[in-house]
Structure formats: structure tokens, C-alpha cells
Amino acid sequence: MINVIGLGYIGLPTALMFAAHGVEVVGTDYNKTLVDTLNAGKTTFEEDGLDGLFQAAVSKGIRFSHEYQKTDLYIVAVPTPYDKASKKVDAGYVAKAVEKVMEVCPKGATVVVESTVSPGTIDKHVRPVIEAKGFVIGEDIHLAHAPERIIPGNMVYELKHNSRTIGADSREVGEKVKALYGSFCEGEIVVTDIRTAEMTKVVENTFRDINIAFANELAKICRSDNMDVHEIIRIANKHPRVNILSPGPGVGGHCISVDPWFLVGDYPGLANIILAARKINDSMPEFVLERIGCIMKERQITDVGKVGLYGLTYKENVDDMRESPTLQMLDSMDRHLCGGQIKVYDPYVVQDVVPNQYHDLDAFLRDVDMVVLLVGHDEIRENMDRLKGKVVLDTRHICFLEGTYRL
């Protein structure tokens, strides 16, 4: 049996995938409401394929509990937020979870940290917790790191098909954990040491952040000289060794927008390109606000209440709003516009989370003269004709109506 600790965006799909493939699983979370919801037969967030996976796991006997279990293998998948002031990872949740595991686990148990952490976190924050309980790592307790590599909107597919990295103190432990994940993972599983596994995950997301920052800086350059950045990127990408990503209103989610800060915080003075990329991407919501103001002036829209922001999530076709560029924009709108009246709509966000939030596309479009496309949900892609007659600022390069404004 394995005990998966933390049943959020990563822990829940992971627990369900193990169970659906015949592994005995108990999922544990401190959130009573969450556990009660799962025990009532309902999932706790929207994700393509998650409900089907949930039913398959339930049919195989998965259980959910508030209590940590006594077993020989634990997977820790709790959050790892970062401190916005110091730019360093907060390993408190991971350390606390491991401490609770130590209170119930038998000697010989293996603890797998799946949470994304900065390089050295396990040495600094996890090993001391285990040793403080009197266990000898490598004899009494075995330690491994298997960082997640999935993205909201495609989690179920990527859990099965993406390659994985397993970091462990010994090859034997690494191979044991590899075999466990091999129960469902069809991608290549690489075994290495823990520090390398920590670094590899952070480097993957940092690479993408830097690529996006280049595209965003290019968008600013092209805007300053009235050039089409998307056409330039399209042509440049025809070169076999060029793959520039698309510019956008900012970078959200809990990976690309967060992981690079781990390196900035841990290696000040060394992570210079990484820091510059972070600053560029963090500046994009402000850049979009400036574009909104310029277009309003050009089109003589004097009432910000006639402007609507389409999209609250950080990416298309999910309900995940973590580090959303739209939320970043709303946080700083008072510096550019009288932000209280601006309209907001997202088909995936069913609860009211911001002022003037709509839950019906027809009503939203009826009440605005200008639409800012911030997320490329399928809903709006399939209804572009309904934007005719509106002033449209497209930050995602998805609208090709005549007269559409771009970044």
C-alpha cells in the first residue's frame, strides 16, 4: 500500500492513477471538506479525464482519509509556495508532512517527495526532520524525489505518457521507486541522485520561462516600431533550430511563474538571465493595461465599465487561477484605470472571485464595447463571430476579425 499525502492538483491525479492501475492507495489530506467530498464520490477540481480516472480508482478500492497511514511507501505531494520577498521556496508544508509521516511509518519505509522544490531543499529541510526523529536515512528510512511533470488541462494523459525523473540516495531505492511509477507511466523513467532530480525539474520550467520572456520582449520591441511580432516569430520558426514560443499577457500557474524564482532566490548574483526573464514576464500584465488605455483613448471609450476582460484562469480550458495574469492585472488596475467597474468573465470560474464578474457570455458581451482576450478557451474560439462590432484586444493571437488589436 502507498499513502499519498496531499490531494491537490498533483497528489489527487497521482493517487488515482496508481489506484486505477492496481496499486493499493490511501490518499490523505488535512482538508476535511476536500476528503469528505472525495469520499462522497466527487472530484474537487475540473480536469479533462479526471472523473473517469476517479471512477476507475474507486472501483479498485482507493480510500481517502484525514489520517496518515502506517505503510512502507509514502508519496508527499503538498504545496511548495515561494516567498515573494526573498524569492525562496517555502518548504514548510513538505517538512511538516514528512514529520507527520515519521510519527506513523515503520522502519524500512520509503518517502518519495513529489512536490517541486528548489535544489538542496531535501538536504536542508527534509533530511533533518527524519534524523530528528531518530531514524538513520539509508537504513531506517529511504528517501527519494520524483518531481511531477504534468500540466493542468492535460494531466491524465501526461501522467501516463511523460517521461519522469527519480532521484534517490541509492540505485536500489531508485529502481524500486521507478518500478512503482512504471505501473502506469509509459514514458522513459530516468534514475539519478536527489539533487540532480531537484535541479532538473526547476531547470525545465525555467527554460520555458526564458523562452516566453524572449517572445514577450520581442512583442514590446515590435509594438514600439509597429511591426507584427506574430508574423516575425512565424517566419523565424521556419528555421530548423529556432522555436520561439508565443507572447502573451503574462505567465501564470504554479510552475513556470514560480520555479525560476527558486533559482533566483538560492543563487543571487548568478541567476541573471533567469531574473531578467522573470521581470519581463511579470511586467506583461502592466503592458496589457497600458495597451488597453491607449486603445480606449484611440477609440474614444471613456467609460472603463464598457471594457470586459475575457478569462480569469492562467491557461485555456481549466479552472486553475493560480498566478493568473488577469488577477495580476486586476491587482494593479487602479494605477492605470478606475478598475472597480471593469467587467470580467470566465466560463470555467463558477464562483464570484472578483468584482463585476459575469457568468453568462451573452450578458457579458451585451454590457461591454471592448473585449480583451486574455485566455484562449475553446468557448471564445468557437464564438469569434459574436465579437463583431466590438473593439477587440487579442493577447493570445486567436482572433482574426478585421480591426483586431494585438499586443
Domain ranges of the chain: 2-194, 225-406
The per-residue pLDDT for 89 is: 76
Indicate the average pLDDT of the chain.
94
Rounded to an integer, the average pLDDT of 366-379 is 97
Check for a shared fold between 2-194 and 225-406.
yes
In this predicted structure, the answer to whether residue 88 has a pLDDT above a threshold of 80 is: no
pLDDT tens digits, residue range 185-201?
Answer: 999 999 999 999 999 99
The per-residue pLDDT for 336 is: 55
The per-residue pLDDT for 153 is: 84
pTM for the predicted model, two decimal places = 0.89
The catalytic residues are: 201, 255
Say if domain 2-194 classifies as CATH 3.55.10.10. Answer: no
pLDDT tens digits, residue range 269-306?
Answer: 999 999 999 999 999 999 999 999 999 999 999 999 99
What's at 240, amino acid-wise?
Answer: P
Fold for 225-406, please state it: Rossmann fold (3.40.50)
In this predicted structure, the answer to whether residue 253 has a pLDDT above a threshold of 60 is: yes
Provide the CA 163 distance to its chain's centre, in angstroms. 18
In this predicted structure, the answer to whether residue 210 has a pLDDT above a threshold of 60 is: yes
